A and B are shown apart, each in its own frame.
Chain A
Amino acid sequence: MSTLEQKPAALKTGDNQTVPALEAAGISKTFRSKRSRLQVLDDVTLTVGKGEFVSILGPSGSGKSTLFHIIGGLVKPDAGSISMNGADVTGQQGHISYMPQQPALFPWRTIEDNVLLSQEVQGKVDREARENARRWLGKVGLGGFEKNHPHTLSGGMQQRAAFLRALLSPQELMCLDEPFSALDALTRSDMQRWLLDIWEESRRSVLFITHNIEEALLLSSRIYVFSSRPAAVLHEIDVPFQRPRREDIIEHPDFIRLRRELSGWLREEQLKMQGAT
């Protein structure tokens, strides 16, 4: 593995100037089969600073999840590299914590054991980890459900447990792949507020995929807007609101202006995609 890959353009200014938690440089990926070629990612470069909440906003089916699979080491990019904290980890697994679209809790495990799963895979669950997990479960409103099995919980509660599983993982970067897209609108906005609170307290490095504009604006410090297939970074915007944020920022004129701008871009991309098929 060459670690002497060229560094991409200067790091984004954020709350830190140190090595970013994640640096994806020039990622391209084309899926080839005998009959067809499908280019899904075209020279995608992005960074997530330490303790930064970054969103990827793009039309559905634009290859965002493929980018996650590349970051997670499941898929090898045709070009480009992934580094974390300055070390090249292209094609290596186990460097991220992850929350998928569906909660994917294991039905045979209790909530507590589910939350501890990623730590278990990393090979370290001691009494302290267990106590920590219980403390967090209480904190996110799942106290008393430690010994329950997942199917006895509501969708929102399952997602909270799945989030906790990612949060309690030892890896620094959390990758959240449209975690709330399967929830109903009401639960969804509850969960967004909830995530905002939890994140502002824990300040982990987060890469968040969504196609929901308000969600991206509410939660993130920066947003990368992706084009439709093949996905490339169209725009990169800083979200100017102070932290800790409150949900009333959605009535702020800047919020409304940004929302309008973003939805214009997204609609354009969506139309392009429909035109292409």
Chain B
Amino acid sequence: MRRWWNSVWPPFVAVLFFLVAWELSTSLFHIEKWILPSPVDIAKETADGAGDLWGHVGATVRLTLEGFIIGTAVGLIIALILHLIPFLKSALYPLLILSQNIPTIALAPLLMIWFGFGLLPKLIVITLVCFFPVAVATMGGLKQTDRVMLNYMRMIGANKRQIFAKLELPHALPAIFSGVKIAATYSVMGAVIAEWIGADKGIGYYMMLQKSGYRTDRMFVAIMIIVALSLLLFGIIALLEKWLVRWKPKQDN
């Protein structure tokens, strides 16, 4: 408990200091509220406007989760296929890396033209940002299977399926989770971007709406919610990891 407290209070104080400095400078330099609202303004707006926001938050959460699950699944499937078929890996892996140089934000409007304003193009956007970290981490994890253990499995006559299920997959689990955690935070970002470009509900849509009204304070509220969603999803995945990878020796950090 004491150690936990020791690691928590320094960043806490730093954030507090930052907020106080922000608050003071907005009033000290008379910064207009529509350019940069003070933390107190944002807090007030959060309390007042919370009611109308729930619908938007719900829509974004749903979109995020759907996209995250699909994106993670696609990433896992791609990694498994490329792992099991080395030829495909050598053929497609460079393309996969290359594909990540295409900014998703630039693709999103195109997807809207091709697939309309429904759910499909949004899910595609999230999938595009999610699958890559999962696929790369999973492939890396599967490739780094412990040689001694692999040798042992082959010596005792384990077949390919057994080696995969009993050794490669559990061995790759920590690596897979590091990819999934990144995908979790990306998925929130992907959902918001998708909503910016074409939606009639959701946090991203709400932000666009408030932008045209110069309601900077409300945009900050939206940003706070996005951060909270990201952290929440990340935390859930981290807990799941802790439970599934509880065999791992504790490392000092």
Contacts and interface: CB of A to CB of B under 8 A. Distances in A.
A102 B148 contact: yes
Interface in A63-79: 68-69, 72-74
A98 B249 contact: no
Main secondary structure of the interface of B (DSSP, over half): helix
A271 interface: no
Contact of A117 (B151, B166, B249): B166
B155 A149 contact: no
Contacts of B171: 108
Contacts of A188: none
A106 B155 contact: no
B199 interface: no
Given A107-B249, A108-B247, A151-B249, A121 B158 contact: yes
B154 interface: yes
Contacts of A100: 148, 151-152, 155
Given A74-B154, A96-B155, A98-B155, A120 B148 contact: no
A120 B173 CA distance: 21
A104 B148 contact: yes
A121 B152 contact: no
A51 B123 CA distance: 64
B198 interface: no
Main secondary structure of the interface of A (DSSP, over half): loop
B144 interface: no
Interface string A118-131: 10111000000000
B157 A95 contact: yes
Interface in B224-253: 245, 247-249
A90 interface: no
A98 B166 CA distance: 17
Most interface-central of B149, B151, B154, B173 (chain A CB within 10 A): B151
Contacts of B245: 108
A107 B152 contact: no
Given A106-B167, A120-B166, A93 B249 contact: no
A220 interface: no
Interface size class, chain A: 20 to 34
Given A106-B167, A108-B170, A117-B166, A93 B148 contact: no
Contacts of B149: 104, 106
B247 A96 contact: no
A205 interface: no
A121 B162 contact: yes
A109 B152 CA distance: 15
Contact of B248 (A73, A104, A107): A107
Interface of A: 68-69, 72-74, 93-98, 100-102, 104, 106-109, 117-118, 120-122, 149, 151, 169, 171, 175
The 6 closest A-B pairs by CB, nearest first: A94-B157, A93-B157, A72-B155, A98-B155, A151-B249, A108-B247
30 contacts: A72-B154, A72-B155, A73-B157, A74-B151, A74-B154, A74-B155, A93-B156, A94-B157, A94-B158, A95-B157, A96-B155, A96-B156, A98-B155, A100-B148, A100-B151, A102-B148, A104-B152, A106-B166, A106-B170, A107-B247, A107-B249, A108-B170, A108-B173, A108-B245, A108-B247, A109-B247, A118-B156, A121-B156, A151-B247, A171-B156
Interface of B: 146, 148-149, 151-158, 162, 166-167, 170-171, 173, 245, 247-249
Given A107-B248, A108-B173, A121-B153, 18 more contacts: A72-B156, A73-B157, A93-B157, A94-B156, A94-B158, A98-B155, A98-B156, A100-B155, A101-B148, A104-B152, A106-B167, A108-B171, A108-B245, A108-B248, A109-B247, A117-B166, A121-B166, A171-B156
